[in-house]
A and B are shown apart, each in its own frame.
Chain A
Amino acid sequence: MLELGAFLRLMTLPVHLLWLIAALPLLAAGIGALTPRRGRALAAGVAIAAMALSFLLSCAALATALAQPAAHLVHNFAWFDLGLGPLRLGWLLDPLTAFMCVMVTLVGLLIFVFSVGYMHADANSTRFFCFMSVFAAAMLGVLIANSLLLLFVCWELVGLASYLLIGFWFHKPAAAAAAKKAFITTRIGDLGLLLGMLWLYDSTGTLLFFDAGNGVLEAGALGALTAQTTIGGLAVSTAIGLLVFCGAIGKSGQFPLHVWLPDAMEGPTPVSALIHAATMVAAGVFLVARVYPLMAADQALAHVPIHALTVVAFIGAITALMGAMIAVAQNDIKRVLAFSTVSQLGYMMLALGVGSWVAAIFHLLTHAFFKALLFLGAGSVIHAAHHEQDIRRLGGLRGPMRTTFATFAIGMMALSGVPFLFSGFWSKEAILHAAHAWNGSSLPLFAGLAAVVLTAFYMTRLVAEVFFGAPRSEAAGHAHESPPTMTIPLIGLAVGAVLLGFLGTPAYPWLQARLLGETEVHGHSLLEGGGLMMLSIVLVALGIGAGWAIYWRRLRATATALDPLERATPRTFAALAARLGFDELYAATVGRLSNATAALADALDRHVWDGAIRFLARLGEFTGVVSRETDEDMLNGGFDAGSESLRGTGKLYSRAQTGETHGYLRVIAIGFVLLVLIVMMGGGQ
């Protein structure tokens, strides 16, 4: 025990070296980019080694941060001088950053290992590991940034990596389209973030989060931001906070910009697990948690029309409920999980909105593990069943894929919130309690409770359809367990999905206390607020029971048989299966408007601007030709003719002078006289 303590004290990472955490995967990406296609083992090995080192560094960073949890350790430096002063960037180390870094590197490491097995048949896996490393570097950059600008740069790089990886199989039209959709949809939100960032810089003159009292998240700047009001009586901090939140809406797949996330499942499954379940989509939640002082700055104001966090709470509640509803009627194993992710991200936003950002981060961390687990389990199934993803055509996989089934079941129970043993239960409880304690409105709490039932229900349906009954296609019939590179990460994630919950139980909320910068942990009995806990346990039981009654008792016999819910309420089911028509709605409104604008711009470009440009180009060309003709024919002409006909250098000299140098001298003289005249006349006025 003594050695362990000494070892832990040795594990410190000074904040000025924090960049190493993000630099290592970036280096791996560089090496991967230069590796030829046949060097797959090298690319994968370097990526995994970099990730493992980053994980160790993150652990050291966590130890450093936990030694003084209340401090925001920063290292700021000037990037370059711009305008009135230097543009400064920096790194930030606090428990929030450290916990997130450990999670991203650990989950990332497990998923990288899984990918070795999953991608081994793909000819381009070198490129895959390169992109994955780029993603990891950018994501870690988002986490360690102490400047909204640096965060924004990494944020966009994360989006780029996501685009590249969703479209990794770009020869599939659906994948190419999904990549484009993801990129464009999130850009809409990023525009808000950019505007918010510019406004913030305009109002405070800095973008550093913490800067010895001068940062935007410190009292001075926040006081100034809440003191001013803008259109509609909003405090400036509210307006900026909502604009920043737009970025989070896009990235975290919140209503109304959630439409890209399910389509993003066209990417390889490890990508879905890492980027579109565990880390990148949670970046929006992290962003709001990071700028929480800014988001919450308007809470003290009484006479404002709306508080920024209220909007966050309602968006989160709507998303949580809507995602869970749509997930009920999806038939693609990854789409079910994708809508479940949308719904769970909604929970996290809800928690942020009702004032408990630590509950949101707690749920983010547990969700990262069990959702990555579920996605990798789905990947294992898809890998075994020769890329069959339709749950109606799977079935009966419990026997041949025992490890996958066992770990998937753990993930399912964690996500459903099965009591006590599973992490998802504790983090979801924390959110529901926070929603209950909120004095704004009780609607978010009701939405959250309804989503609890639905979540348990659709997860039961998913497990019943995939793992029980008889195989309903040839591919499912031939399935067998995946190789150890895939099952070992599953086991690792399953362990995390169970254990992580105990870091934050109400009896001993260690994680929450450290995030809040407290060194003492104040637990309370589980019986406090036990009523709500009992209610949610009942709701989970209700959801699982309903799923059991509908799907488990009467297992599906053939792939073409109608879903029991579809038989009962065909219209509702069809509407949910069609994702409530958001895609069609957007295509009919925004899409059509954009197409019309594009057509107009095209016409203007073709006929109006192009004509003008061509005219200018002709004019430029004409001037150029005139200039060259003057230069070469009039001035050089004599010389060229001379040198063509005469060889002797002595004669050449004389000819050279008479040919052109006189001309040059004349121009100098004329220029001199003209300039003197201009200045004299200009001065005389």
Chain B
Amino acid sequence: MTPDYPALLHALLPEASLVLGALILLGLDLVPGRGRTDAKRMRTSATLGLVALAAAVYHSIDAGRGGVAFAGVLILDSLALGTRVGVLGLAALTLLLMPGGSRIRNPAEYVAVVLFATAGFTLMAVAQQLLLAYLALELASLSLYVLAGFDKTRPESAEAALKYFLLGGISAAFLLFGFSLLYGLTGSIAFPDIARHLGGHEPNPLLIVALVMVLVAFGFKAAAAPFHLWAPDVYQGAPTASAALIASASKLAGFTLFVRLLWSGLAPAAGSAASMEGAPGWLPVVAIIAAVSLLLGNLGALAQSNVRRLLAYSAIAHAGALLLGVMAAGSAGPAPLFYYAATYGLATVGAFGVISVVERAGPCQQITDLAGLHRRSPLLAGCLLVFMLSLAGIPPLAGFFGKFAVFAAALKIGGLAGPIGWLAVLAIFLSAVALYYYLIVLKQALVAAPADGAPHIAVPLTSAAALAIAAALLLVLGVFPSLVLRIVQ
């Protein structure tokens, strides 16, 4: 059958607008932008980038929920739509925060790479085939490696990028090897066909190796333990905007692809997480990774004195909770997972945004660098309060409802009995532990007195707007979670 190219174009217009926008802004920066100051080039590039993102949002909504496209390579369902809009929004917030953050040289290239990465994310949201999934993931990953090492003035940035690249390369190798084994076993690269072929067969050792390889690669992408070791170093070393993108949009897109691959491609090999006995499958592996992530992330965060490393460990802990949502997606649908990932992304972008503004006035690495923030800038302190409490899961902020929805969905699978029930209880218990380290940050920001001579921080208008939007969204979505849940269901 001949592929339907106009339909393909229609489905991929968001990615096309992103790439076109990136090329246009590079061209503009190359000729008329020459000789201008960095700040001016930054403003122009960020504005153009926002326009491209807005166009992509428009085309995503326009493409809507058209079902499968291009012979089943793409799927345009409500999850894809939600994820596309979500990652575009998170990328837009990152761009909005950039002019007010620390200085970046060659801003046009930076924005262009952000747009390429975002194109990778939106492709991950619609991929329904191993090859496209791999390509989208690699497009996003390669862009993120570049973004992590963009600050050429600091060796930490280079270190972070190199480490991220090396480990990312290995995980890509795992993923590709796993995918090729899957292709070898089933003879297909389309998710539904794979599921059909797996349906009739007993799982064999080769399939298990393939599954675990795929899970290792995704565990790496999601910063789930024990494949998380890159995260603290990268969060610490990368430029703040890059770290924000890695922590938010990348996670949302990754989990969407992950849950789609597992439940629409590999569901027959799920095994059972209700008990460890019976047919082997990927559910027990996810359960183990989730448990280890929850434990290591939360307990590791307790000992951190660096606020970025703390956010990294918090990301590991949240990855554990998100994996719980992945397991529950089989029965409860992807809505709780999506809600959790999207609101977690919002809170994280916000937290990194606060850090990026504080950095204008001095370094912001240690938690004590935030001391007295309520005096230095009440707006930043107020926003940080919302972001941290949302990360900790305090009602009425969205973080609470995300936790609630995921845990409730997980508990519905088998009640308190069995490993998933225990996992949910563990996650709830560790949420209490998590509150402690988030409050440590807030204590510095809201209670401690500022260091001697710490200057007042002027918050640029764009950053203030981005932070206010993120905080307001967390509050509104926390009170009316159905606004998001309704879209994805």
Residues of A within 8 A of B (CB): 78-81, 86, 620-621, 623-625, 627-628, 631, 635-636, 639, 643, 649, 652-653, 656-657, 660-661, 663-665, 667-668, 670-672, 675-676, 678-680, 682-683, 685
Given A81-B485, A631-B229, A679:B300 Cβ within 8 A: no
Take A79-B482, A656-B162 as given contacts and tell me if A671 and B303 are in contact as well, using a CB distance cutoff of 8 Å.
no
Contact among A627, A652, A678 for B155, CB-based, below 8 A: A652
For B222, list chain A residues within 8 Å (CB): none
Q: Indicate if B185 sits at the interface (CB-CB under 8 A).
A: no
Which residue of the partner chain B has the closest CB to A80?
B482
Residues of B within 8 A of A (CB): 155, 158-159, 162-163, 166-167, 170-171, 174, 203, 205, 208-209, 211-213, 215-216, 219-220, 226-227, 229-230, 232-233, 271, 276-281, 284-285, 288-289, 296, 299-304, 433, 480-482, 485-486, 489
Q: Are A624 and B303 CB-contacts (below 8 A) given A664-B229, A667-B229, A676-B208?
A: yes
How many A-B contacts are there with CB distance less than 8 Å? Answer: 116
By the criterion CB–CB under 8 Å, are B167 and A664 in contact?
Answer: yes
29 A–B contact pairs at CB < 8 A? A78-B482, A79-B480, A80-B481, A620-B302, A620-B433, A627-B299, A627-B303, A639-B159, A649-B158, A657-B166, A660-B163, A663-B229, A664-B167, A665-B166, A667-B226, A667-B229, A668-B227, A670-B226, A671-B227, A672-B174, A675-B289, A678-B285, A679-B281, A682-B276, A682-B284, A683-B208, A683-B271, A683-B279, A685-B277
A671, B170: Cβ atoms closer than 8 Å: no
A668 and B170 contacting across the interface, CB-CB below 8 Å: yes
Taking a contact as CB atoms under 8 Å apart, the answer to whether A678 and B480 are in contact is no
Q: How far is the CA of A36 from the CA of B74 in the complex (A)?
A: 57
A679 nearest in chain B by CB position = B280
Residue of B155, B205, B303, B480 with most chain A CB atoms under a 10 A cut-off: B303
Q: Which single member of A80, A667, A680 contacts B208 (CB below 8 Å)? A: A680
Taking a contact as CB atoms under 8 Å apart, the answer to whether A668 and B226 are in contact is: yes
Task: Report B-chain residues with C-beta under 8 Å of the C-beta of A621.
Answer: 302-303
| Secondary structure of the A contact surface, majority rule | helix
Q: Which chain B residue lies CB-closest to A664?
A: B229
Instruction: Give bound CA distance, A113 to B233, whole Å.
Output: 63
Chain B residues closer than 8 Å to A671, beta-carbon distance: 216, 219, 226-227
Give bound CA distance, A665 to B216, whole Å: 12
Per a CB cutoff under 8 Å, which of B288, B300, B301 touches A675?
B288
Closest 4 A/B residue pairs (Cβ): A683-B280, A624-B303, A624-B302, A80-B482
Q: Evaluate contact between B480 and A80: CB separation under 8 angstroms.
A: yes
CA–CA, A661 and B233, complex, Å: 11
CB distance from A622 to the nearest CB of B (A): 9
- Given A675-B216, A680-B208: 19 more A-B contacts, CB < 8 Å: A79-B482, A81-B485, A81-B486, A81-B489, A621-B302, A631-B300, A643-B155, A657-B166, A660-B163, A663-B229, A665-B166, A665-B167, A665-B170, A668-B167, A668-B220, A671-B219, A672-B213, A679-B280, A679-B285
Residues of A within 8 A of B288 (CB): 675, 678
Q: Is the CB of A628 within 8 A of B303?
A: yes
Contacts of A81 in B (CB 8 A): 482, 485-486, 489
Q: Which residues does chain A contribute within 8 Å of B159, judged by CB atoms?
A: 639, 643, 652, 656
Contacts of A624 in B (CB 8 A): 299-303
Chain B residues contacting A664 (CB-CB under 8 Å) are 163, 167, 229-230
- Complex CA gap A579/B480 in Å reads 48
- The reply to whether A683 and B203 contact each other, CB–CB distance below 8 Å, is yes
Determine the distance from Cα of A353 to Cα of B485 in the docked complex, in whole angstroms: 45
Once bound together, how far apart are the Cα atoms of A664 and B171, in whole Å?
12
Q: Which residue of A lies closest to B404 (CB)?
A: A82
Check if B216 sits within 8 Å of A672, measured CB to CB.
yes
The answer to whether residues A676 and B212 also contact, given A643-B159, A649-B155 and a CB cut-off of 8 A, is: yes
Distance between A14 CB and nearest chain B CB, rounded to angstroms: 22
